[in-house]
Structure 1
């Protein structure tokens, strides 16, 4: 076997075979590389290939030896007469194989060296070119008119290259430069931040123009390359600066147009724009909807017109003359005819218009006109004189009674005279009496124009008439005067007083015995005939004597059962007070015909007559009783009718108030808004009173039906508490709600239960001191559901408790607001309609406790009208 040695230092290959033969191959040329690693790699490959060649020699020799085995068994004669043995032949063959392998390796090494040298020259040239390019790019980036920010991937720390001149307002410091808000305008900062975010997050390139705080424009370009995000700030020249400014202005204008069109698309008013040839080039969603198109593009593409040919020709004529059109036009939308207020403006390159649907407003305006006319006709039918003055104290409306009262001519009143001038004329005509200080008196009367409360006066005219004058301020600064002629009323009162005296004297001389008892059972009135018929002394029937005392005296000479019924009738608490009549026989043999008659305010009248006079007395009492019943029915009918009639105008007033508060009616000053708030609040309160009156009237008529269902106690208490939450918060009053465990629900009318609780809490909040606590409790008690409301207010004296459930009788004993006196009446009516009861425990200075008991299974009960 041979041995190959590669000498790297001398750049040669030496192959030694067994024996003395040696092959020495020198490598000519330069096998240098650019670096040591490349040299080591080349030499390693050469060594590996040379060894491979040497390793293949035994295989070649073995194959040769096998092919010529016969020749190798003996000696071979050479031409020189020498005999060569087998070993010498083998040794020679190995030498020749090693020489051939060495020559092949040398040739391959030479070729490899040439290729590597060529690659090295190419790489050196490329590196040199790249170095030149990098130097050139760095020189360009480091110019004074641009600066570059480079972000690598998601890294938040960028690399800054280049600079911008500081005189244009760009800081040189890295931290100050990256704080764009310190040296850019606000709108430029927003635009730049949005563009950079889109570049880094969505790889969206951009070209924008921004302005420094000194007004210098800059061009900003954003691009991505591989994993890098690059933003370049460029300082343009004067021409490019102007272009950048135009570009920025164009961007802002485009944004403004897009915003405006977005706004027009959001409103429910058809809007459009036309080209200079009059063709539609844009419409909003409302326009497309009005012309029954799916989207605005379809409406523009199909040329769908909102108005007819004549209307469009009229619009074009007006725009030709005045450059704009503004009027009302009608067209059919959705199968119905609508009236639009149309505004169309012409410009140099086209026109734009908008249409506002005023169909409902026109209907409301017509309804308002009809309402005003109806009110005027109604006021003209009144006997009370009415005059309305505006904020400038000019007469705007008067009814016929006003002109008749003061004897003024209609043309003069229609000239809108001043209020002060009218007062002076009344004085000069001698109608108004002279005042000690006329100027001060007139200023006091006219102070109503600066007041928010109504004022009331009584004027005694020189002709003997007496007027009740009510001066009511209007929300818009005007004043309404109402003059009620009290002359006849005072005369009637005088006649009434005289009549009472005459009737009293008449009763004293009547043969019929009459006694009137109050609801407490005490005598209010008794004539001498009553005492004479029962043989009573005058002090025994004196005013204030209780009926039980009279019973003790009269019962021994009459039937005890009759006097039992008399006492029950006078002092009983029956919901329905009944009249009694009959005959009673005294032990003296005198037969009396008696009758009991309920009177207003819980009073009761007892009458006794002899049998001979019974028919006449009975007829008189029946007529009086029927008159009282008709009066009561007339009262109920009047309340119901007026309540229903008030609802319509109240609804209109509230609707117009809300309409005036909307921006479409125009701006309002603070005073007008305050007046509208007062109108809305007062209308809501009045509507609540009307609804309460209607509820009571429905209960009285016996036609109210309860909607019985399962009522959750927790839900009912929560709803009632929310209704008074603002009022409690206003006065710093706490509401302590205590619902016992297991209360659950019961069968009742949920709406009426919530109304009862809300009225109780509102009543308590009206009287509870600020900073106090109202307690609302609920618990089950056998077959009843019990609610109680407790406050720490001033309480109510006993005389108030006797009539606390009466209607229209509010008692201002420490309350913040004085209502119509219907809250507790409604509570009592609805609780009793469920078959429940209401109890009030109160005394002066100790607060009030109201307890309502409802049956767990409610059924409708009918209530009699009070």
Structure 2
């Protein structure tokens, strides 16, 4: 920054410039620069006067006037010059007097004038700079960093900038790099910026030092007060009389005060009366107080660590919230107790010896394991005493050199890592011991009776050997893969089946590697993917059953079995022979189904083809038997009767076949309506009257009066009853009784037809309802085997069902159930 200034001398001479016109004597001008300037001005004035006179000479009438004016001007100039000389002398004297007064004490003045780029520096610059520098380069004073430490120099620089830019005054007390105390004062006076720097001495120096100390103490006090107010802990000070003199915001919050000032004004107490009394007594006796006390804050009881000190003018205190620490301490105690209770519940014996090798803790399992007296253990015996007592009771291993064994055992007190060992006791027990060094010193002994465990290990090893022999002798190929997908176990059948090397499988290859080895025989990506997923899957572990047809023609049944330990067992069974037999049976079954379908289709076709010529024969037989066509002899009438009887029987068979065909094709529909059961039975019985009379068979009909009517196709119900009765009459012996019983069970009407025939063998019961199944044994006539098939079809079409109850030698009962409600019939039919 450029600074411009004028010295006090220049200021005085500037003021004397007002008397320039009074300087006319050249001799005086030679002695005084101000006179020189005046003389030069007068010289310039005379030159202009000559020019004027010359011009006046050429103009008539003006010469006289000019001469008079010139004389008067000279007189006035002489009078003004004399007055100016007197004023300059006066001002010079005052300037010298002010200068003497101003620099009576060592100081430096720096002034900046408006519009002047260079500041003027006056005074004793040696006060701030070395003598040689001050004489040669006084402007170095403006480089504040050359004679001030960095921080005061920066402060000075900012103050001068504010003075020059905004006219802001300042007063600074600083210490130079040489240790001098100075005062820097800046002011804006008369359009100039003045900076005065002077050394402080005597009372002024003491006052400056006191001001600095006061400012430092004030800053420190404000900082401490700000810290106290910002601290989250209640902080307070009290006078010697006990009244509250200071409280921070946390104290105000703890005492429910509106502010810290409110807490001080109302003298609110943080502690209760008893705690305050204890605190006051402690301060009077020991000059300090420390305790953990309960304090109610915002309606919540909390614990605080209260610290108080006695001071010269009273006391000061602080309360730190220790609720969390107290809770943690209580939790630690509870945890230790829980740890002890847990150790007491362990089946393992635990004994903890401290750094002095004395028993610090033991659990009940330890006492029971070694059968030691509780009083002895509670006396905190040392480690050697416990070992000696156990040895006396022959409960330690019998060692040849007991001292060396005991010494090695006690090396655990100097060890870093835990040590494990097994003691085989004289009583046959095996005890596992783990010695663990404690961080705070001492050793923890952990004892476990592993007698049964070792026995189980021996048994387990035997079971593993048996398992290995069993697997090796299985004809089924078995491989076990772990949860990581690597092979763990396999038998020779597995290696032979897939042509694998046992040595390669012993390296525990992954399932993907085994898959690559097996692909030459079976290369189905989908099947291998399913096996990989079953073996390596984590969440969805389920059984997978596959049938693999290898390239060599072998058919394998593959199955995966998830095991409890996360492994998966993979088994392969050669089912080539079974598959060949099954294939042959399947092909035979398909051939039989095809033949049966061809048979049914042939019967359907033949039935339709026979119906037309049969209708013609029946028509001509009726026409020949009609008397209107002409008389016939007895022989012809007999033949016509045979033709009519045979064609009627054949027509009935064909109608039955067509009905079955319609039902089988789903084209049969029922003409539903109310059915009179008695009338339907009479219509059905009328068709077998000739057989009943011929074979002397009695038809016994029993109808439950509660049955009434039911809804169905009467024509088809009559067909059902006719076929049942005809079948029963056909298998009944002469002079037998056929029974037809009708009763109601719930929402069903049940028809039961019973004969006294030879019965049906158990192996034939399931075939009596098949087409063309006619068992003529015990029957007086052969039929096409369609009656019972038609019965079942019509009953099921109504939504009912048919059952056969037969005992060989005791007759047969056919039971037909029809639903009463039409809706039930339709739903069942659908």
Question: Which TM bucket (shorter chain)?
Answer: 0.3 to 0.5
Q: How does the TM-score come out when normalised to structure 1? A: 0.43
Q: How does the TM-score come out when normalised to structure 2? A: 0.45
